[in-house]
Amino acid sequence: MSRTVIRGGLVITAAEEMHADVLVEGEQVVALAATGSDAADAWTADRVIDATGLYVIPGGVDAHTHMQLPFGGTEASDTFETGTRAAAFGGTTTIVDFAVQSVGSSLRAGLDAWHDKAAGVCAIDYSFHMILGDVNDASLKEMDLLVDEGVTSFKLFMAYPGVFYSDDGQILRAMQRGAANGGLIMMHAENGIAIDVLVEQALAAGRTDPRYHGEVRRELLEAEATHRAVKLSQVAGSPLYVVHVSAASAVAELAKARDEGLPVFGETCPQYLYLSTDNLAEPGFEGAKYVCSTPLRPREHQAALWRGLRTNDLQVVSTDHCPFCFVGQKELGRGDFSKIPNGLPGVENRMDLLHQAVLDGHLTRRRWIEIACATPARMFGLYPRKGTVAPGADADLVVYDPAAEQTVSAATHHMNVDYSAYEGRRLTGRARTVLSRGTVVVDDGVYLGRPGHGRYQPRSTCQYL
């Protein structure tokens, strides 16, 4: 079995920081010892990675991606191959993507289709959540089977009538089933029925530009849906994880529920922390690059999101990576914002944007690792295999240079999309060496991995309760 030692770095986990050497045997971390100690100095290895002056952190766990998602008559532009390679460049070593059950079809068929897309091509490890697009007696029964085989979380939509939408009765039934079988319900909380009325009215009044996407998807309709989801979960006696929270008032709903002791959790995404309706209003059709749902909010909302991350009213930052090229894909919505495919690229940028947040004083270093690595792993049943640096954990490790300067750009990123949502942004910090299960997959900007190295990871039920 090959042995690698990472020497001299500052190891950062959600729980602690220590100057330690890390010994990897095969695919796993087997020991940590204080740098310079007799124990560490006695280690022999096939490969020594010098991390002096650098951080050694767990590989990022991005619990919300959509590779190759069919949406709005097109398909997300990153394949599992290109998207996971880009993730690796950005220091993310596990993704949890969303398999889709379409209307009239089974969970099994949807899950099999996503396995087919991902098998043999991923650069890093991957798991699946299941989107429940058609809640009925048969799919409710199938939820139990999926939980048993390691697909332990289910996304429901209060938005997108006619596509993924579930009504309150369907939501309640799925939550009841989740309460019984341990599956965690993830909610897209926006009142889609009301939004569709506002979309129709906006278009009829000639308001067709991308910025109206943000205006019709009103903050109140995110807050209302969040409140309703909390109450339905309370009735069902199930935990709830609200995805891509963007509005201050939705954070307030989660905080209130948590203050009442309810097992309610929230995720936000870098786009809501760094971008705003100003981007949606960019001239020409540029705003289309920033169309996602929930939508970007006025920048005043960002303070509430950062605060929520600090107070643990929000526990996770995922990307909701769902890229569509500007040319030929976002352009489908010229003259009608409701036809712009929803989603932003970001799987490559998340770890660095959050490291910048450490430098900017929004987060501590350990909180950075907690929201980007440890908690997503615990929330979705991958801990401590993923999300930490400890004996027995997978050697998904990032040697991170906290002083490296970069300018984010589509010209240099590795995601298969023709623009960057963060174009021109200067960031300090970058992954230098990335290991996935003990194999170096990225070193100094060079890809050393291979399609198919990434392995499917069945998950246990939520470990965060």
Give the 3-state secondary structure of residue 38.
Answer: helix
Instruction: Give least dist CB 273 to ligand URP, A.
Output: 15
Are 380 and 459 a contacting pair, CB within 8 Å? yes
Q: Which is nearer to Zn ion, 102 or 364 (CB)?
A: 102
Instruction: Give least dist CB 279 to ligand URP, A.
Output: 14
Q: Which is nearer to Zn ion, 177 or 188 (CB)?
A: 188
Q: Residue 314: which of 381, 242, 373 has the closest Cα?
A: 242
Give the DSSP per-residue string, 327-390: TTTGGGGTT-GGGSPP-B--TTTHHHHHHHHHHTTSS-HHHHHIIIIIHHHHHTT-TTTSSS-S
Contact flag: residue 134 with ligand URP (CB under 6 A): no
Question: Could you say which of ligand URP, Zn ion, none residue 142 binds, taking C-beta under 5 to 8 angstroms by partner kind?
Answer: none
Contact flag: residue 188 with Zn ion (CB under 5 A): yes
Instruction: Give least dist CB 322 to ligand URP, A.
Output: 4
Distance between CA atoms of residues 59 and 94, nearest Å: 7
Instruction: Give least dist CB 142 to ligand URP, A.
Output: 22
Question: Could you say which of Zn ion, ligand URP, none residue 21 binds, taking C-beta under 5 to 8 angstroms by partner kind?
Answer: none
Instruction: Give least dist CB 387 to ligand URP, A.
Output: 22
Torsion angle defined by CA atoms of residues 81, 266, 379 and 357, in that order, rounded to the nearest 10 degrees:
70
| Amino acid letter, 358 | V
Contact flag: residue 320 with ligand URP (CB under 6 A): yes
Q: Which is nearer to ligand URP, 246 or 315 (CB)?
A: 246
Contact flag: residue 95 with ligand URP (CB under 6 A): no
Instruction: Give least dist CB 152 to ligand URP, A.
Output: 19
Residue 303 half-sphere exposure toward CB, CA atoms < 13 A:
1
Q: Which is nearer to Zn ion, 253 or 320 (CB)?
A: 320
Q: Which residue has the tokens 């889709």?
A: 100
Residue nearest to Zn ion (CB): 188
Contact flag: residue 370 with Zn ion (CB under 5 A): no
Q: Which is nearer to Zn ion, 249 or 406 (CB)?
A: 249
- Kindly tell me which residue out of 192, 343, 381, 438 binds ligand URP, with binding defined by CB under 6 A: 343
* Beta-carbon contacts of residue 411 (< 8 Å; ≥ 6 apart): none
Contact flag: residue 322 with ligand URP (CB under 6 A): yes
**Number of neighbouring beta carbons within 10 Å of residue 423:** 13
Distance between CA atoms of residues 413 and 415, nearest Å: 6
Instruction: Give least dist CB 463 to ligand URP, A.
Output: 23
Distance between CA atoms of residues 241 and 133, nearest Å: 17
Phi, psi of 377 (to 5 degrees): -65, -45
Give the 3-state secondary structure of residue 21.
Answer: strand
- Kindly tell me which residue out of 7, 173, 177, 188 binds ligand URP, with binding defined by CB under 6 A: 188
Buried b (16+ CB within 10 A) or exposed e, 243-272: bbbbbbbbbbbbbebbeeebbbbbbbbbbb
- Kindly tell me which residue out of 66, 177, 297, 378 binds ligand URP, with binding defined by CB under 6 A: 66
Residues of span 231-270 touching ligand URP by CB under 6 A: 244
Residues of span 319-338 touching Zn ion by CB under 5 A: 320
Question: Could you say which of ligand URP, Zn ion, none residue 433 binds, taking C-beta under 5 to 8 angstroms by partner kind?
Answer: none
| Amino acid letter, 35 | T
Q: Which is nearer to Zn ion, 188 or 330 (CB)?
A: 188
Q: Residue 382: which of 155, 125, 143 has the closest Cα?
A: 125
Contact flag: residue 342 with ligand URP (CB under 6 A): yes
Q: Which is nearer to ligand URP, 89 or 324 (CB)?
A: 324
Residues that bind ligand URP in the complex, under the rule CB under 6 A: 66, 188, 244, 292-293, 320, 322, 342-343
Residues that bind Zn ion in the complex, under the rule CB under 5 A: 188, 320
